Structure 1
């Protein structure tokens, strides 16, 4: 959230006198998470101060107490901010979360020149029909992971614990490494 208007002297005084509102909202209503970029205490405090300035800009003294109004504005603003940051974080794929076979496929995909299309996910979907049981589930999960979906999201989608999905992928990778037709079609792309 950006504060695009300048605060008047009275609005600045309101903000300065009520900075503790941001601290209280962070202490009681919002959980900082330093493991997620943008959700550390300092980031949340800065964002809360911006929302406090916004509250000062939009406050109407005829409608009640500034402290009550500002607490609601800061709280709602920080909740929206956290949802936005978490949404971006969930769409991020960490390389550490990918299986070695997925990393190898991505490296092969990036090694191919930009004018050539690598269709590894499509090849995996085609290979999926050749297998059954756990191997088929593993090939499907691998195709989802190569498409950029993190393992935990794949597990949620498949209604299974992540460690089961990881085991399925391992089994599928083992089978695919021994599948000459799949390997030849993978190298052609």
Structure 2
């Protein structure tokens, strides 16, 4: 029984040597959704603060195109006005134009304006963020992409894409009188109408 007790937490325990199933762990899972209006505990608030301060890089790939970066301008919305921003890096290789854009805020509207008549076969949108670790808190690195295309056709002249991110926080409660360990990552949801 003591050996099973030591198979906790699941994130750091090794293979079980006392059972036929080597993946057996001492774990209990529960899931809940927490309203944003409910105040967080002090420990939870630290994890939420880490996630709220994570910096994002927007990655945009224009696939199967001959457009160059000098024909693209990127704008972000500040209040009711649009302001031009620059990309961090760009690459034009094998008919794929890739831009990396640092976002000054997590909740932001960004638009790419193409001043070129050449076509785009597909679009790939992604978001990346570096991880960070402190004593009992782990902010996970993330890097996800989603491709958008229409089989046998080029993309529309205007293609609005909404990217929503959800904070997912894992709390590992201690077996003894210690502090909980927290881990957090963002999960993406894309919404697009390819028929627009």
TMscore range, shorter length:
under 0.3
Query: What TM-score, normalized to structure 2?
Result: 0.23
Higher fraction of helix: 1
Could you say which structure has the larger radius of gyration? 1
Larger strand proportion of the pair: 2
